[in-house]
Each structure stands twice: as structure tokens, then as C-alpha cells.
Amino acid sequence: MSGLEIDFETRSTVDLKTRGLHVYMASPTTVPLMGSYRINGGPVRRWRPGEPCPADIVAHVAAGGMISAHNAAFERLLWQMILTPRYGWPAVRTRQFRCTAAAAAALGLPRALEFLGDALNLDVKKDKVGKSLIQKFSVPRRPRKGEPDDIVAFNEPHEFPAEFEQFHDYCDGDVLTEAEADTRMVSLSDYEQAVYTLDQTINDRGIRIDRRSARAALRLAEKTKAFLDREMKRVTGGRVGKCSEPAKLLEWAQSRGVDMATAGKADILDLLSLIDLPADVREALELRQEAAKTSVSKLQAMLNRADEDGRVRHSFIYHKASTGRFQSVGVNFANLPRPRKAFEDAHLDAAALFEAFQTEDPEWLRALYGPKLGRPLDLISDAIRGFLWAAPGHELMQADYSSIEGCVIAWTSGEDWKVQAMHEIFADDTLPDMYRRTAAGILNLPIEVVTKKHWARQAVGKVSELALGFQGGVPAFYSMSRNYNVDLEPLFAPVWETASEERREKAAKRYENELKRGRSRTDELSRNAWIACELIKVGWRATNPAIANGWRAREEAVREAIRNPGVVTEALKFSYIVANGYLWCRLPSGRCLAYASPKLRDQVWAKVKLADGTWSEAEVMDREQAEGLALVGKVEIQGATSPSISALGLDKAGRRMQREHLHGGIFAENDTQAVARDILVNGMFAAEAAGYPIIGHVYDEMFAEIPLGYGDLREFERLICKAPGWADGLPLNAGGFRAKRYRKD
């Protein structure tokens, strides 16, 4: 790429990790130590404080040239907040910056330069010695002999000239590493570069925090935890001194005759559902449950990262997931806890609730809202979104898309009945919703029977719609049912009753086979619960045949693309091609998802000899593995089947590339999430153009901060639902609110 490639090293008393990028740059103690750069592929040049901004940089910026950096927000904010006002560097615009970390993320590669160099096998890799030099020069040093313990001082360059010179060599090396990485990667398209710029604009605006209430709530939480610890000690007769002692609680509960495996959240929930649980054990577990709320830690994170104006900035990361979905860091606004149903149903007055928090009195909360609803830690967790609020004279306008991923996969798969149904539901909200329709279809019941209050709407309809769209089976349904506190045992009788004899036999046979293999949660679920999940899965796929067939269609198109590099294959609304070492999936928007180093591997149908000497049902197995086991009599190969698909993807830490098995359900999940993200971005651009400045977004929702009385909520909803040309026919609907404080609507 032509342009200016640049990297800086800085020092500050502010801890970047805990305080965040904007607070770091806003600190008067943050100063540049050095800079390295090159222009249009020329030699690497250097700059240090005390020198004027290099003339070639001044000319490049004046000409509107692009500036490249890795994690470019750091260089940009340093330039805009420090170099220009304090050191006389020319002003730059946010749109002039491009980020090589963003380009790497769009290819499913590591964001960190060190690991990106390994993934791309660069000739020039990030110098790992740099970490020790950063520690030496960029953070405050320890007090020296004779100095006060509270002194804040740094190792100065003139004290260690050789090592400081080595530090600048490291900075030079980063520029070369970034530049080489840039030549190996596909750059962001013009549209995605605009998305990146919008992301930076949103991050610069920030989200305002109610700091007074947050500080009060933290003090309230500490008082509450002390009270709960005293109660725990009383209930257990001194055996457990604090709620934060799970090992002691476990030992005490077992001494009371309770079969308790761990003091984890899931086990406590299971035990609290028992009718015959001893009263003192129930009370102790409820105390542990209440005290274990970690939501208050988010309040501390908010306060840590809030600027002088009370706004938390730079909390969103462009293209954090390989699908293009954004993610939140620091405070993690994308992972705020869901409020309790009792809290939602109570419709508490937000102003009164936050006034109550400011009293810092646990007993006052209990007196106002009762012993259950008024639990202070639970209430803080319930209201955590409300600590985000608009600036004086402003309010928030929020909207989120309705069932966006369900709409997308139905639309991309050609599940026409569901697409039509969603259009009808969005046009007339008095019609039966999709959860009712799904439950009725699976259970073969008239839609009139499955009312809003009918047990099957949530237990069958909602859980299956959320769990089964991406080829999920019993484990997926089971996991989602736990999220919604669905008891699976009562499902068996009605599900079994409405299933055909053929489906019953197949479900029972599949259970026995999975049980012998110890798979698919058969160790956790009873036979009846497992079969109920299996029958619901089969019923959902039967009522959504186009979606189910779409999984297979994606796989077939991908295999053909891998077998024939350079040839475009198509499935549904997607096209695929293997080129430059990647499998590219072109989305309806024109954006591409990237799967690195795609491969096929032969598979066979095989029966496995079980521990009791019987043979399993035939299952798909890697050919090489099956042939090895067949030689020792543990497998019987039945015949060939379609090869497996794999590609390189990031590990959970986002550092290393590892080979991952892919199937139709994963492709469907990825392209569905990607299309939904593209709809969100289209909506954000539309809102911005109409004068609604976005300050935050979470997966399928966005919120703007506007002057009181400005705009119209219905207009805002319509704006973000105006489908782009590529999404013609996609059902879109959004609902939201305008209010002083953010909330879960």
C-alpha cells in the first residue's frame, strides 16, 4: 500500500489496560518517546520529541494522504490529542487512518502484530525483546534507594542510551513488520474502510456514565456483601464464614446430607429447584447465589474508563469476529446481564430506583421493593444498563431488530413460508408470533391452541427457534433450554404423543446408540428428556426443510470450490471461490467472509465396536482413522461418504491459527451472523445520515444520543429497517424507546 506507515512508543502514569485508550491519551503524563515511519515504501525514518514534525509527513498530510498503523486508534488519538496540540503536528482527519489490525481481523487472522507475523510467516517479525523495553521506558519505574516510596518517575532515555536506541530499533521493526503484513493481506474495501471510520467516530463519542450513582452502588454492594457474609456465618453455624468460600459451603452442605457436586451457578440452580432441600441449605445457597453477582465489577470498569466528562470511549472493536460482528471491550457493553423477570414485570420508576441506590442503604431498598425484588446486588444487576445515560439536555434513542437472525436464515435459505409469515407478523402484531407457529408446527397443534400463555410457546417454540437453526441437535436444545429455565422432563409426554411412530422409533434408537457412546449429553439427561429434545429437533427440521437443506447445499458448494480452485460455485444467496490460499464466501452485500487454507479430507461410513461387544450404528469417520481401527478389529467400514471440510481459524485466545472442522451448520451460522451485521451497519449509516449520532451498538441494536425532543422514534425505526437493494425481500422490523437512561426493552 502507498501512504504513510507509522508507529509510536509512549509513556504514561496511566495503566492502558485498566483505564482504556482514551483516558490514557487524555492524561497530561502521556507523552511520545519516539516515532518511526516510512512513506510510499521508502526507507524507515525516525522522529523524537524536540524535533519538528518531519516535512515529508507535513506534506503527506496536507495532500490528504492515508496513514496506516497497526491498531491505528492508538496512533490516531496520540496524533489528534497530543502531537497536534502539544507538539505542533498538522491536524489529521479520522478518515485518513487505515488499520492493518482491522484488515487482519477481516481475514480471520490474529489482530496482535506478534501473532500476525507468525500466522503470515513474515520475513520481518515483531521483536519480542520489545516487551522488556516497554516495561523499562513506558511505565513508571520502582523507587530507587533513598527515594520516597510514592515517587512517580521513569527511566529516562539519557540514563540508558544504548537500550533506548535499541527501543527505537524495535519501533523501526514494527513499521517494517506492519508494512510487510500489509502487502500479504487483502485490504478493506472502500465500503468497509468507511465502516471502520464510522466505528472510530462512534468510539470517539463515547457513552456517558452516571458516575455518582455508580460510586454509590459500589459502596452499597460492599455493605450488602458484608451483611450476606454475616448471614452465611449465622445460617451455617460458623462453618462458612463468607459467601465467597465455595469449598467450605460445599463441605457444609454435604454434611447436611445434600448431594452437591460443586458450588457453581448451574448446580446451585438445580438444587434450589428441589422440593425437599433442607431449609438452612436453601438459605445458604440463596445467599451464595445473591453474593456471587459479578455485575458490580462492570460498574468499577465503567468508572475506571470514564473520562473527565464521564464518558467511556473506545469500547467497541471493528470486526472482532471473523463474520464482521463488532465486540465490546473494557466494560463489555455487549455482555450486560439480563434483568430478572420479576424486575421486568415490576416496571420500576428509574429515577426513584437510582435515588434509592444513592442512599447506599440496603435496608431501604428492601423496604421499598420487598425482600425478593429488593435484594441490593440483584437490583444493581437488574438496572446495570441504567447507569448509562444521556448528557444534560439530551436523551437516548434506541432500536433493535426483531428476530434478525431468524429472518436472515429463512430469507437466505428460501424458507418461503417463514419469510412470508415474518412479513405478516411485522405488519400486524396481533397475529400469532413465530414462536407460537413453530410450536404448533412441531406438535401438530392448531395455532389457536398455542396461545401466548401456552407452555409450548417458550419451551418448544422459542427454544427451538433459537437453538436449532444452525444444525444444532439435542445438546444445543438442552443448552438453550437451560438459558430459559425450561424443565425438559414434562415435555416428553406431549411431544411423544404427537410424534409419528416412525419418529418415535428413530429417536429411541438414536438415544440408545448415543448412550452407548457416552455422547450428546446422554450422561446429563434422562431417557425421556433426551428423546423429547430429539423429537423436537426432528420436528423443527421437518417444518423448516429449506433451512435444513441449506446446510447441505452450502457444504456441497464449498467442496466443489475447494476441488476446483478459481471456479465460482453457488448455493442459496452465496457464492464461493478458492483463491490466494482462502475460501471466500461472497455475501449478498458483496462483502466476503474468509476461511484460510481450506482442505478436504476423505471420510467413510463406519460401525464402531463398543465396550459390550456390540456394534454402533454406522457413523461418519475420518477414513485414515477408520482404516487404522479396522486393522485391529475395532471398526467396520461400510463405504465412502462426502469428505470433511476444514480451514484455519483463530484459537480462543485469538493468538494462534488452528485447523477447525467445518460443516453446513457452521457456514450457516457464520453467513447469517454476517448478513445480520451488514444490516446493522446499513442501519447505522442511515441513522447517521438522518442526524441520529450513534454512540453504541450491541449485535442487533443501536442507540443514538440526541437533544431532547429531537427526531421521532418511529422514523428512527423505519430508517434502520429500510433494506438496501441487496436485501430485497428480507423481513425487517425494529422496536425501541427514547429515554434518559439505557435499558433492556
Q: What is the CATH number of the domain that holds 115?
A: 3.30.420
Query: Which triple of cell numbers denotes residue 122?
Result: 513474515
The tally of domains found in the chain comes to 3
Identify the H or E element spanning 671: helix 664-689
Answer yes or no: do 121 and 167 share one domain. Answer: yes
370 domain residue, yes or no? yes
AA letter at 87: Y
Please work out, in degrees rounded to the nearest 5, the angle formed at the alpha carbon of residue 405 by the alpha carbons of 404 and 407. Answer: 65
Q: Check the CA dihedral 319-321-326-331 and report its sign.
A: negative
Query: 3-class DSSP state for residue 549?
Result: helix
CB atoms within 10 A of CB 239: 17
Helix (H, G, I), strand (E, B) or coil at 312: strand
Measured distance CA(67)–CA(104) in Å, rounded = 17
User: Cell for 208?
Assistant: 456517558
Cell of 116: 500476525
Residue 632 lies in a domain: no
Cα angle for residues 692, 698, 702 (degrees, 5° grid):
15
Query: Strand pairing of 207-208 and 97-99?
Result: unpaired
Q: Is residue 403 part of a domain?
A: no
The answer for residues whose C-beta is within 8 angstroms of residue 144's C-beta and 6 or more apart is none
Do the beta carbons of residue 315 and residue 305 sit within 8 Å? yes
Please, are residues 133 and 170 in contact by the beta-carbon 8 Å criterion? yes
Do residues 108 and 319 make contact, with C-beta atoms less than 8 angstroms apart? no
Cβ atoms 149, 143 nearer than 8 A: yes
- CA–CA gap between residue 314 and residue 388 (Å, rounded): 15
Q: Which residue has the cell 515483531?
A: 126
In a domain, 438, yes or no: yes
Please check whether residue 657 is in contact with residue 637, taking contact to mean a CB–CB distance below 8 angstroms.
no
Domain boundary among 330, 354, 389: 389
What is the 3 state secondary structure string of 219-281? Answer: HHHHHHHHHHHHHHHHHCCCCCCCCCCHHHHHHHHHHCCCCCCCCCHHHHHHHHCCCCCCHHH
SS (HEC) of 556-575: HHHHHHHHCCCCCEEECCEE
Which ranges of the chain have pLDDT less than 70?
A: 1-2, 125-127
Locate 293 and state its grid cell.
453477582
All cell numbers assigned to 388: 448509562
364 and 480 in a single domain? The answer is no
Provide the β-strand partners of residue 609.
615
Same domain as 366, residue 437? no
Rounded Cα–Cα distance for residues 338 and 384 (Å): 9
On whether both 260 and 367 belong to a single domain, the answer is yes
| CA 509/CA 534 separation, integer angstroms | 11
Assigned C-alpha cell, 476: 444445543
Q: Give backbone dihedrals phi and psi of 370, rounded to 5 degrees, phi first.
A: 90, 165
Q: 196: closest CA among 690, 591, 595?
A: 591
269 and 372 inside one domain: yes
Axis-axis angle for helices 416-427, 434-443 (nearest 10)? 140
Domain assignment present for residue 525? The answer is yes
Distance CA 492, CA 234 (A): 42
Residue 106 near residue 192, CB atoms below 8 Å:
yes
Q: At what angle do helices 664-689 and 713-720 cross, to 10 degrees?
A: 130
In the structure grid, which three cell numbers stand for residue 260, read together? 452437591
In whole angstroms, what is the distance from residue 170 CA to residue 132 CA?
11
Instruction: With respect to residue 607, please indicate whether it lies within any of the assigned structural domains.
Output: no
Query: Domain check: are 162 and 235 in the same one?
Result: no
Position 448 in a domain: yes
Domain limits for position 461: 416-543
* Together in a domain, 140 and 276: no
The full DSSP string for 345-382 is HHT--HHHHHHHHHHT-HHHHHHHH-TTTT-HHHHHHH
**Which CA distances in Å does 184 have to 103, 580, 649, 669?**
10, 10, 17, 28
Could you give the maximum distance between any two Cα atoms of the chain, in Å?
87
Q: How many CB atoms lie within 10 A of CB 43?
A: 7
> Which of 525, 543, 561 finishes a domain?
543
Q: What is the pLDDT of residue 295?
A: 80
Q: What is the pLDDT of residues 59-85, one digit of tens each?
A: 999 999 999 999 999 999 999 999 999
Place of cell 449485535: 699
Residues 6+ apart with CB under 8 A from 366: 374, 375, 376
Give the 3-state secondary structure of residue 437. Answer: helix
Torsion (CA) 420, 426, 432, 433 in degrees, nearest 10? 90
Residue 1's pLDDT is: 53
Rounded to whole angstroms, the Cα distance separating 362 from 375 reads: 8
Same domain as 231, residue 150: no
Whether residues 222 and 146 share a domain: the answer is no
Looking at residue 296, its pLDDT comes to 85
What is the per-residue burial (b if ≥16 Cβ within 10 Å, else e) of 310-334? bbbbbbbbbbbbbbbbbbbebbebb
Looking at the fold, whether 235 and 178 belong to one and the same domain comes out as no
C-alpha to C-alpha distance for 470 and 474, rounded to whole angstroms? 12
Angle at CA 464, nearest 5°, toward 463 and 466?
65
Of 543, 572, 588, the domain-final residue = 543
Does residue 153 sit in the same domain as residue 223?
Answer: no
In a shared domain, residues 90 and 24 = yes
Question: Tens digit of pLDDT for each residue in 115-135?
Answer: 998 899 888 766 678 889 999
Q: Which three cell numbers stand for residue 428?
A: 400486524
70 found inside a domain: yes
For the chain, the first-to-last Cα distance in angstroms comes to: 45
